[in-house]
């Protein structure tokens, strides 16, 4: 079946620290991969995506590379800010439109 696993945290970092949130997936076929961000009390917003192997998605200083050989899509940012504090979800979408999410990783950035 299809599933997404990610480090659950919570993760606490100081401002300007390097961020990595690991994500691995299991899927039949060739899914597209996404990172979403959720701020308190709100719905999810797309952060970045990659649709095929070796694609790199990037947005707002965040990056993730679609690694088919390791079935991974790790999220990275070189220097986090307080405003990056949120919950981050890794997700995949299958060719038949099913969208599966990981458990989410809560990030707190302290000044």
Is residue 31 at the binding interface for other proteins, with CB under 8 A as the rule? Answer: yes
> Residue 69 or 97: which CB sits closer to other proteins?
97
Q: Is 59 in the site for other proteins (CB under 8 A)?
A: no
Region of 18-26, 42-50, 58-66, 68-76 interacting with other proteins (CB under 8 A)? 42-50
Two tokens, residue 34: 């996404």
| Count of Cβ atoms closer than 10 Å to residue 65 Cβ | 17
d(CA 25, CA 102): 9
Torsion angle defined by CA atoms of residues 56, 10, 17 and 67, in that order, rounded to the nearest 10 degrees: -20
Residues in contact with other proteins, shown as a per-residue x/- string from 61 to 100 under the rule CB under 8 A? ----------------------------x-x-xxxxxxxx
Structure tokens that stand for 69 in this block: 């050989």
# binding residues, other proteins (CB under 8 A): 28
Q: Are 104 and 6 in contact (CB under 8 A)?
A: yes
- Residue number with CB closer to other proteins (17 or 38): 38
Based on the shown chain and the rule CB under 8 A, indicate whether residue 57 belongs to the binding site for other proteins: no
| Separation in Å, CA 109 to CA 13, 25, 93 | 5, 26, 29
Contacts with other proteins, residue ranges (CB under 8 A): 8, 30-32, 34, 36, 41-46, 49, 51, 89, 91, 93-104
């Amino acid at each position: 079946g299809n599933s997404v696993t990610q480090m659950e945290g919570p993760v606490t970092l100081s401002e300007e620290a390097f961020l990595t949130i690991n994500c691995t997936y299991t899927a039949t076929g060739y899914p597209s991969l996404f990172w979403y961000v959720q701020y308190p009390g709100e719905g999810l917003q797309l952060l970045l995506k990659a649709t095929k192997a070796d694609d790199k998605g990037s947005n707002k200083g965040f990056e993730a590379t679609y690694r088919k050989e390791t079935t991974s899509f790790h999220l990275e940012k070189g220097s986090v800010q307080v405003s990056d504090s949120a919950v981050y979800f890794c997700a995949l979408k299958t060719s038949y439109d099913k969208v599966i999410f990981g458990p989410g990783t809560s990030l707190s950035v302290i000044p």
